Amino acid sequence: MKTIKKIGIITGGGDCSGLNAVINGITKTAINTYGLDVIGYRRGYFGLYHNDFQVLDLKAVSGIMHEGGTILKASNKDNLFNYPVKQDKGETVYKDMSDVAVANMKKEGVDALIVVGGDGTLTSARDFHRKNIPVIGVPKTIDNDLPATDVTFGYNTSLETITDALDKIHTTAYSHDRVMVVEVMGRNTGWLALEGGIAGSADVILIPEIPYDINKIVDKIKERDRMGKSFAIIVVSEGAKPVGGEAHVREIIEDSADTVRLGGIGDIITRQLSTLIDNHEVRYSNLAYIQRGGIASQFDRMIGLRFGVEAVHLLMNGGTGQMVRCRGREIEHVPLIDVVGDGLTGETSHGGKKYVDPKGQMVRSAKSIGISFGD
Ligand code: F6P
């Protein structure tokens, strides 16, 4: 393999807290330990395609560890292996434009990439590895849905935000004897709703892995009434679905690696409950993008930093086509294909997801303390 002298960082997909800690860890290790040059592509793969980057030196990454977002900016579009290209007649066709990215890297003398992202971004990382580009992935997403790692960075800060929001919603729910429906993100997995909901003392948690029956939610509210508790908190994952139904799609974004955007199920449930319950007002809050922003938690700073440091060590020890991951308290690594699938059997991008086990210990613990899942 060619000697690595210069590396490029990409932060792709939706942003989250902890990204800057990763950039900090990569850049400082690359410069201090290996004497490498480091650049960061702006707006993920968009920057790689347009050769838009900034030089990262020790000064550029100083003081950024706690900051939310990413100094490099992010984009959850721009799949360069299926990229929208305008034709002469105005129509758009999707083409593999990854050679443009490889040519840009060659022009700038970039020998390897460290790609920080969720399943869509890491699927492209796998494909760049197949084009003989040395690549290491770093697992990022507030959804915590990537397989092969105990945890992704960004998830913990979002949980803190959800828990804090639920604490606040609790007091107003109590004062007004209201049923409060709180929608959280998570795509097709229920980790944010589950862990945030338990810590925030939710009475009902609805997750995609356990389809709900609206009448069971009403039963729980009535049960609380009988106990003398005249309010309730219902945490709904954006991907939650009724028994026999589908998740509520908010939008389709064609040029995104993951085209489907969920959202709005909390509003639907609120309207339904309003017609089924006459002794409480029902109100709805969607926590939406506040779950993605803000100062990174101590956990996300640490795990992000350690992922970044280990990604560079792995690359410089000959690793490629791998993703750093967390197992217990250690940072290890795993082939990218074990995370996103090999993509060779028909699927266009993603491999498996890490789902909540409906019969697992965490759900059982929640049920033990009386939380309803609407099942
Ligand atoms: O994957 C992270 C995430 O925040 C999901 O929880 C959410 O469904 C999605 O991204 C929102 O995407 P966008 O930023 O395109 O609206």
Q: Which atom of ligand 1 is nearest to the CA of 118?
A: 1
- Please indicate, yes or no, whether residues 146 and 45 belong to a single structural domain of this protein: yes
- Please indicate, yes or no, whether residues 74 and 105 belong to a single structural domain of this protein: yes
**Residue 354: which residues within 8 A CB-CB, separation 6 or more?**
144, 145, 146, 147, 189, 191
Domain for residue 135, yes or no? yes
Contact 38, 143 (CB under 8 A): no
Residues comprising the chain, all counted: 375
Domain for residue 374, yes or no? no
How many distinct structural domains can be found in the chain?
2
Half-sphere exposure of 361 (CA within 13 A, CB side): 0
- Please indicate, yes or no, whether residues 75 and 134 belong to a single structural domain of this protein: yes
- Please indicate, yes or no, whether residues 52 and 13 belong to a single structural domain of this protein: yes
SS3 348: coil
Domain for residue 246, yes or no? yes
Name the residue with tokens 């409906």.
358
- Please indicate, yes or no, whether residues 175 and 272 belong to a single structural domain of this protein: yes
Structural domain boundaries, residue 234? 155-292+357-368
3-state secondary structure 228-285: CCCCEEEEEECCCCECCCCCCEEEECCCECCCEEECCHHHHHHHHHHHHCCCCCEEEE
- Please indicate, yes or no, whether residues 162 and 269 belong to a single structural domain of this protein: yes
The residue whose C-alpha atom lies closest to atom 3 belonging to ligand 1 is 14
CB burial of residue 161 (10 Å; 0-12, 13-18, 19+):
buried
In what helix (H) or strand (E) does residue 174 lie, and over which residues does it extend? helix 155-176
Average pLDDT over residues 216-230: 98
For ligand 1, the distance from its centroid to the CA atom of residue 29, given in whole angstroms, is: 30
- Please indicate, yes or no, whether residues 131 and 233 belong to a single structural domain of this protein: no
Q: Give the Cα separation of 174 and 230 in Å (integer).
A: 7
- Please indicate, yes or no, whether residues 244 and 265 belong to a single structural domain of this protein: yes
Domain for residue 349, yes or no? no
- Please indicate, yes or no, whether residues 132 and 17 belong to a single structural domain of this protein: yes
The best mutation among 116, 143, 189 to test binding of ligand 1, ranked by most ligand atoms within 8 Å of the C-beta, falls on 143
Supply the pLDDT for residue 17: 97
pLDDT digits (tens, 9 = 90+) for 99-156: 999 999 999 999 999 999 999 999 999 999 999 999 999 999 999 999 999 999 999 9
- Please indicate, yes or no, whether residues 159 and 283 belong to a single structural domain of this protein: yes
pLDDT digits (tens, 9 = 90+) for 289-307: 999 999 999 999 999 999 9
Q: In this structure, what CATH number is given to the domain that contains residue 85?
A: 3.40.50.450
- Please indicate, yes or no, whether residues 237 and 330 belong to a single structural domain of this protein: no
| Least confident interval from 6-20, 213-227, 327-341, 347-361 | 347-361
Q: In this structure, what CATH number is given to the domain that contains residue 276?
A: 3.40.50.460
The residue whose C-alpha atom lies closest to atom 11 belonging to ligand 1 is 261
- Please indicate, yes or no, whether residues 58 and 160 belong to a single structural domain of this protein: no
CB burial of residue 142 (10 Å; 0-12, 13-18, 19+):
buried
Domain for residue 351, yes or no? no
In what helix (H) or strand (E) does residue 206 lie, and over which residues does it extend? strand 204-206
Domain for residue 101, yes or no? yes
Set 15, 78, 143, 258: catalytic member: 143
Tokens of 40: 């960061």
Q: pLDDT band at residue 256, thresholds of 50, 70 and 90? A: confident
Q: Give the Cα separation of 64 and 60 in Å (integer).
A: 9
β-strand 330-335 against 322-327: which pairing, if any?
Answer: antiparallel
Tell me the pTM.
Answer: 0.95
SS3 109: coil
Average pLDDT over residues 243-262: 91
Half-sphere exposure of 1 (CA within 13 A, CB side): 16
pLDDT digits (tens, 9 = 90+) for 320-329: 999 999 999 9
Domain for residue 363, yes or no? yes
pLDDT digits (tens, 9 = 90+) for 142-188: 999 999 999 999 999 999 999 999 999 999 999 999 999 999 999 99
| 145 noted as active-site residue | no
Domain for residue 350, yes or no? no
